[in-house]
Amino acid sequence: MKSIKLFTLMLVTSLVISININAQDADNLKYKPWTFNVNMGQTLFWGDNNNDILNPFSAYFKSDKSAFGYGLIIQKNFNPWLGVDFQYLGGQLNGTRYTWSDGNAANLYFHSKINQFGLNLNIDVLDIFREPSIINLFNFYVRGGAAYNLYNATEYSLITNAVTNTKKSGAIEAVGGWGIRFDVNEKLGFTFENTFNYAFDDFLDAHSTINSQANDLFAYTSIGAVYRVYPQPKKPSLEKENEIIPTDSSIATNNNEQPKAELGVDLMMPASMEISDSVIVNIKVSKYALNEKAKLQQTIPTGFIVAQKENATSTFNFADQIITFTWDNFPSQQEFIQLSYYLISSKSVSGSYSIPGIIFYDENGTEKIQQFKESINVTAPAVIAEVPKVETPIVESPVVNETKTSGSVDGLVYRVQVKAIYGGKSTTKSISRQYGIDKEINEEFINGYSKYTAGNFSTYQEAKAYKDQLRQGKASDAFVVAYVNNNRVANIQDALKMEGTSEAKTSVPSTVISSKGISYSIQIAASAKDLSPISIGNQLSISDKVIKTSHNGLYKYLVGSFNSYDDAKSKMAQLQEKVSDAFIVKYVNGIRK
């Protein structure tokens, strides 16, 4: 009964320590894996029924002194260096006693079948002092705890092989030891481990006398294979139109609390816009005294695209129809943060669209969530009334036009992505060491993923050559990605088209918008980025001269300049065979109306 109380006390103590550590440590999920270790090795016994072993190495793999053991360890880490594990150890203990310590003959041997169940704390000693990393080639750890051993021991006469005694019972054991782990990659590894198991019992060898040793002891030396499983953070659930819904609530439950200034989000967008046009969306975040990390996301309906404006305080990303603004910490000197972006509608959208959003933020160590939503109505362009034909000539003047050359484009770079981690992150130093990368490594966060890219190449061919080099090593899944002004390009083909139509400026005649009277042009595209008119024409398969203009903060691309609305309408009908949402715009004295 005393032994059971002692085992219970040791078990509860280990659990309380591990739970407290887990509650206090808020480290990233990548350092909190579940580890499964399957192992096998040799047991070596010290007790009454075994001659004193002065050199343990000489006793291993000798059937009269050692025996085979096998085990399973399931470990949960709470931070990079501390974890708790459950261990099962099965197998057998062997031993032989030829003479007693007084010189008299003993001539006994025993076999004992064991089934041990234990709970231990596991400390990775090196990770206490070095920079945290998922992969370390060499790891030294110590472990200790308590176990309960169900054993069935039988003692035999060495001369007659007759059974002289048996004992079937359970023993409380204190466990301690050390091990070395070699990491192959993030999930796989190997271990070499040695543990000592001190039993508060003298019958593991089925022998006990007044003059015998008070307690038995055995060692287990093993090699094992390790497999790690990393927990994944919960992704936000999605409603219709990919609305992001919070997984918890930040609503106060105590109605008697005094009101206080809380974070607020004001979404300001026009009530309507035209097809194939763009508007500016402004977001005001009232953060007050909050200075911790935050992330704001909006789900943009299919058929719209987004372009970045200036947002100096945050990291911007648009991918998979989700806008993300990220702050490692809110700016401490500002109570209000202004965000803005261009919302651009395509030819395929029409009607009313809901644009939901959500902001995740930390307040005093607690993650909170707040939702917001607005709608916008997309309408067809207003029909331009026919006006009498005005005989105003189209002006020919020398202007700057773009011609196609080869070479790099300002702001366009290629990189090679080697890794993406969902819900966690690594270090650039660790990534460089893992994949043998000799170039600068960039880190970015996109939709919950930490993505790591290597190098900055001015041409695709340079990036591809480096990708091929990395694939011959450990980065077998490496691929090329493109960036324009540090914004990731969703489709690499878009970057290749830009690279193939680099702008070289020459002076040639071109048709421009008349600066006198009324004229009409056909708009075929709009963009927040300054794109080449030639590339626009190539993408839309238009052979006519494409004119680039600036209007409402966007670059708009037109074809033709007509004095007659009928002429413009006829040209629009031709262009709509290739650009179905092309429409007529009107100019008065060179000013768009």
Cα dihedral 41, 46, 47, 50 sign: positive
pLDDT(369) > 80 = yes
Residue-level pLDDT at 8: 56
Residue-level pLDDT at 395: 35
- Residue 17 identity: I
Distance CA 327, CA 316 (A): 10
Is 496 inside any structural domain? Answer: no
Is residue 303 located within the same domain as residue 179?
Answer: no
And the tokens for 385? 């009334």
Distance CA 95, CA 105 (A): 15
Q: Within a 10 A sphere around the Cβ of 427, how many other Cβ atoms? A: 15
Is residue 176 located within the same domain as residue 275?
Answer: no
Residue-level pLDDT at 381: 62
Residue-level pLDDT at 12: 54
pLDDT(581) > 50 = yes
Residue-level pLDDT at 579: 87
- Phi, psi values for residue 30, rounded to 5°: -65, -20
Q: Which of 423, 452, 484 is the last residue of a domain?
A: 484
Is 198 inside any structural domain? Answer: yes
Is residue 71 located within the same domain as residue 8?
Answer: yes
Is residue 90 located within the same domain as residue 175?
Answer: yes
Is 57 inside any structural domain? Answer: yes
Q: Which of 455, 484, 513 is the last residue of a domain?
A: 484
Residue-level pLDDT at 445: 80
Residues 120/178, Cβ–Cβ less than 8 Å: no
Is residue 100 located within the same domain as residue 180?
Answer: yes
Closest of 151, 61, 157, 149 to residue 112, by C-alpha: 151
Q: Give the residue with greater pLDDT, 54 vs 215.
A: 215
And the tokens for 12? 């509860």
DSSP conformation letters of 301-351: PTTEEEEE---TTSEEEEETTEEEEEESS--TT-SEEEEEEEEEE-TT--E
Is residue 64 located within the same domain as residue 197?
Answer: yes
Residue-level pLDDT at 589: 79
Q: Note the pLDDT tens digit of each residue in 272-287.
A: 888 877 888 888 888 7
Residue-level pLDDT at 149: 96
pLDDT(417) > 60 = yes
- H or E, element range at 87: strand 82-99
Burial of 433 (0-12, 13-18, 19+ CB in 10 A): middle
pLDDT(504) > 50 = no
- H or E, element range at 315: strand 315-319
Q: What is the mean pLDDT of the chain?
A: 79
Is 384 inside any structural domain? Answer: no
Is 45 inside any structural domain? Answer: yes
Residue-level pLDDT at 554: 79
Q: Is 534 helix (H, G, I), strand (E, B) or coil?
A: helix
Distance CA 546, CA 558 (A): 6
Residue-level pLDDT at 406: 38
Q: Within a 10 A sphere around the Cβ of 234, how many other Cβ atoms? A: 9
Q: Note the pLDDT tens digit of each residue in 97-141.
A: 888 877 888 889 999 999 999 999 999 999 888 877 777 889 999
Q: Identify any residues that bridge with 522 across adjacent strands, giving them in sequence order.
A: 559, 584
Q: Within a 10 A sphere around the Cβ of 342, how many other Cβ atoms? A: 20
- Kindly compute the dihedral angle of the four CA atoms of residues 314, 319, 320, 326, in this order, to the nearest 10 degrees: -20
Residues 381/526, Cβ–Cβ less than 8 Å: no
Tell me the average pLDDT across 62-85.
Answer: 89
Is residue 270 located within the same domain as residue 222?
Answer: no
Closest of 91, 106, 100 to residue 164, by C-alpha: 106
Ramachandran sector of residue 320 (left: φ over 0; alpha: ψ -120 to 50; beta: rest): left
Residues 146/12, Cβ–Cβ less than 8 Å: no
Give residues with Cβ within 8 angstroms of 147, minimum separation 6: 87, 89, 116, 117, 118, 119, 172, 173, 174, 175, 197
Closest of 315, 329, 326, 395 to residue 561, by C-alpha: 395
Q: Are strands 351-363 and 294-299 parallel, antiparallel or unpaired?
A: antiparallel
Q: What is the CATH number of the domain that holds 354?
A: 2.60.40.830
Tell me the average pLDDT across 195-205.
Answer: 92
Is residue 438 located within the same domain as residue 539?
Answer: no
Identify the residue whose tokens are 């909050």. Answer: 290
Is residue 212 located within the same domain as residue 331?
Answer: no
Q: Which of 428, 457, 484 is the last residue of a domain?
A: 484
And the tokens for 154? 């039988």
Is residue 63 located within the same domain as residue 190?
Answer: yes
Q: Is 585 helix (H, G, I), strand (E, B) or coil?
A: strand
pLDDT(172) > 50 = yes
Q: Note the pLDDT tens digit of each residue in 532-575.
A: 777 788 778 888 888 888 877 778 889 988 999 999 998 998 89
Distance CA 153, CA 469 (A): 61
Is 51 inside any structural domain? Answer: yes
Is 489 inside any structural domain? Answer: no
Residue-level pLDDT at 389: 35
Residue-level pLDDT at 155: 93
Is residue 219 located within the same domain as residue 367?
Answer: no
The percent of residues above 70 in pLDDT, for the chain, comes to 78
Confidence of residue 162 (pLDDT cuts 50, 70, 90): very high
Q: What is the CATH number of the domain that holds 431?
A: 3.30.70.1070
Listed in order, strand segments (DSSP E) in 380-501 are 396-405, 412-422, 441-446, 449-457, 479-484, 487-488
pLDDT(21) > 60 = no
Q: Note the pLDDT tens digit of each residue in 233-286.
A: 655 444 444 444 444 443 333 444 434 446 788 888 888 888 877 888 888 888
Q: What is the CATH number of the domain that holds 162?
A: 2.40.160.20
- Residue 281 identity: V
Is 444 inside any structural domain? Answer: yes
Q: Give the residue with greater pLDDT, 318 vs 9.
A: 318
Closest of 345, 281, 399 to residue 526, by C-alpha: 345
Q: Give the residue with greater pLDDT, 400 vs 414.
A: 414
Is residue 82 located within the same domain as residue 184?
Answer: yes
Tell me the average pLDDT across 282-306.
Answer: 84
Residue-level pLDDT at 55: 67
Range of the domain at 430: 412-484
Residues 361/367, Cβ–Cβ less than 8 Å: yes
Burial of 58 (0-12, 13-18, 19+ CB in 10 A): exposed
Residue-level pLDDT at 68: 94
* Number of domains, the chain: 4
Tell me the average pLDDT across 184-195.
Answer: 93
Distance CA 267, CA 272 (A): 14
Range with the lowest mean pLDDT among 20-29, 344-353, 553-562? 20-29
Q: pTM of the full predicted structure?
A: 0.41
Give residues with Cβ within 8 angstroms of 148, minimum separation 6: 7, 116, 117, 118, 170, 171, 172, 173
Distance CA 77, CA 21 (A): 10
Q: Within a 10 A sphere around the Cβ of 125, how many other Cβ atoms? A: 12
Q: Is 280 helix (H, G, I), strand (E, B) or coil?
A: strand
pLDDT(23) > 50 = no
- Residue 317 identity: N
Tell me the average pLDDT across 444-459.
Answer: 85
